[in-house]
Structure 1
Amino acid sequence: MLKIGDFSELSRISIRMLRHYDEIGLLVPKSIDSFTGYRYYSEEQLSVANRITELKNMGFSLSTIREILKSYDDSQTLAEYLLVKRAEVQAEAEEISRRLLLLDTAIQRLRKEETAMNYNVTIKALPERYVASVRQVIPAYDHEGMLWDIMMRETAGMNMQIADPSYGMAIFHDEGHKESDVDVEIQMSVKGSYENTHHVVFKRVPAVEFASAILKGSYD
């Protein structure tokens, strides 16, 4: 038999915690001296103590550990407990990853804040233009390239002449930012006159004033 102090050293569980385990019925001493009140544990209970510590390190609550210990030798039941806990931990890990991404994004934004604050915004004017235009709803803003691919493919045999200056641009027709299904139109100034294709529309657009800002740096 082992005194509580010796059992504490061998199991690496504090005396205070052993007493708490006793109170909640998780790890009850093998015997208690009726005269002194000393708690005594058997050597066999060290394996139970190790199981408790292992399960606790996995994130199980003490109340759940108490239930697991009742059927610890049933491998199928134990596996079910472990699989459920694994799913919980996986969900927590994904949430932590999401928060880390938000934090990293915020940090990067702060680091770029000085550059962002140095935008020089000027008012410029575009003259009236004759343009080749493709407008579609695309999955996201970074899919704009698919519109340019359509324009190049459908005008490949037209001998279309690009104006000088060319004024290639993208126009976002939605009100505000959207996460998906964005209404985007691309335009390229051209010389001459051409027939519309399946997706490419040739049209004259009026002169317009716009706010212009130049950002020097990478696309990141």
Structure 2
Amino acid sequence: MFQIGEFSKLANVSIRSLRHYDKIGLLIPEKINTETNYRHYSASQLQTINKIQKLKEIGLSLSVIKEILASGSNTETIQAHFAIRELELQEELETIKQQNLLLESSLAVLKDDSAKLNYHVVQKEIPKRFVASVRDTIPTFANEGWLWERLYKEIIPQQVQFSKEPYNMAIFHDETYLDANVDVEVQVALKQSDYQAVNGVIFKEVPAETVASVIINGSYEQMTAVTETVAIWLENHNYQLNGPMFNIYHVSIATDPNPQNWVTEACFPIKEQNNEI
């Protein structure tokens, strides 16, 4: 029998970990002296601790390891948990690949701050128009597609007539940035607005508004640089924001799955700067 310190050295496991394993019932000492409370381990328990360490190395949790050991290291139990872990590793690998691509794309921007200035800001007017619209709170910005599906599901049966310039746009109504439960409205322009409102889809006339506009070719990862560019433009031209920003989708995932081909117009409603600010 070995005291906990001796067993710790033989197993290459800290005393703290051994005490934790004891506490959660993963590896209980062979014997505990009731008078001194000293823990004693047997040589055979080295095999168990080695299994625990090996299973930890492949990323299994202690609760899963405990289940495997309780099953007597049943082959089916092990294979089931290994299969789950393999799927987790594949997901982690995909995340790492995406982060690596982001790292490569971000490196050029971080090395050259002038890159963000390559975006061209244009002051323009979005005209008054009739629109079909649906506005709702969605879990995240990535769920915007739900609103488009809902919009078209209700307007197509009414045989609506789209405007020559449809102005497919998403308006982001939250006054501050939110990670979740975001207030988003999607609109498409029509020749007229006398259709039947249904399932939250309404038809209305929206007024013209002046915006600072930037065309984005490619994925939405560029939005951070775009907003920096627009902020500088606003200060330099004595303008301030005047309402929620919105995107006009000229080429989107709805018509082309390749992000490199997307064309998005980021629009920031503006008004002349209040000199009291």
The code of the aligned residue for 1:146 comes to W
Q: Deviations over 1:181-203 (max 9, x none)?
A: 11100011101221211221111
Q: Which SS does the other structure have where 1:151 is aligned? A: helix
Equivalent residue number for residue 86 of structure 1: 56
Equivalent residue number for residue 186 of structure 2: 186
How far the C-alpha of 1:210 sits from its partner, in A, is: 1.3
Q: Deviations over 1:66-121 (max 9, x none)?
A: x8983331379x45992798299657xx9xx7x96897445532335555442112
Equivalent residue number for residue 205 of structure 2: 204
Seen in structure 2, the aligned counterparts of structure 1 residues 214 and 112 have a Cα distance that, compared at 3 Å, is farther
Moved over 6 A (4+): 99-103
Alpha-carbon separation, structure 2, partners of 1:100 and 1:62:
34
Q: Gaps spanning 5+ residues in structure 1: where? A: 1-24, 28-47
Q: Normalized against structure 2, the TM-score is what?
A: 0.47
The code of the aligned residue for 2:214 comes to A
How far the C-alpha of 1:139 sits from its partner, in A, is: 1.4
Equivalent residue number for residue 138 of structure 2: 138
The equivalences for 1:36-115 within 5 A come to 52=10, 55-56=11-12, 60-61=13-14, 70-74=41-45, 78-79=48-49, 82=52, 86=56, 104=100, 105-112=102-109, 115=115
The code of the aligned residue for 1:110 comes to L
Alpha-carbon separation, structure 2, partners of 1:185 and 1:143:
12
Equivalent residue number for residue 125 of structure 2: 125
How far the C-alpha of 1:144 sits from its partner, in A, is: 1.1
Provide the aligned C-alpha RMSD in A.
Answer: 4.2
How far the C-alpha of 1:168 sits from its partner, in A, is: 1.1
How far the C-alpha of 1:145 sits from its partner, in A, is: 1.2
Q: Which SS does the other structure have where 2:215 is aligned? A: coil
Alpha-carbon separation, structure 1, partners of 2:98 and 2:40:
40
Between stretches 173-182 and 140-149, larger displacement belongs to 173-182
Between stretches 110-119 and 171-180, larger displacement belongs to 110-119
Equivalent residue number for residue 4 of structure 1: none
Equivalent residue number for residue 175 of structure 1: 175
Identity of aligned residues (%): 32
Q: Which SS does the other structure have where 2:157 is aligned? A: coil
Q: Which SS does the other structure have where 1:213 is aligned? A: strand
Equivalent residue number for residue 166 of structure 1: 166
Equivalent residue number for residue 154 of structure 1: 154
Q: Kindly tell me the number of residue pairs found equivalent between the two proteins.
A: 164
How far the C-alpha of 1:129 sits from its partner, in A, is: 1.0
The code of the aligned residue for 2:120 comes to N
Seen in structure 2, the aligned counterparts of structure 1 residues 216 and 157 have a Cα distance that, compared at 3 Å, is closer
Q: Which SS does the other structure have where 2:179 is aligned? A: coil
Alpha-carbon separation, structure 1, partners of 2:60 and 2:151:
45
Alpha-carbon separation, structure 2, partners of 1:145 and 1:61:
51
Q: Which SS does the other structure have where 2:189 is aligned? A: strand
Alpha-carbon separation, structure 1, partners of 2:46 and 2:15:
20
The code of the aligned residue for 1:86 comes to K
Alpha-carbon separation, structure 2, partners of 1:72 and 1:177:
59
Seen in structure 2, the aligned counterparts of structure 1 residues 150 and 71 have a Cα distance that, compared at 3 Å, is same
Q: Normalized against structure 1, the TM-score is what?
A: 0.58
Alpha-carbon separation, structure 1, partners of 2:98 and 2:146:
29
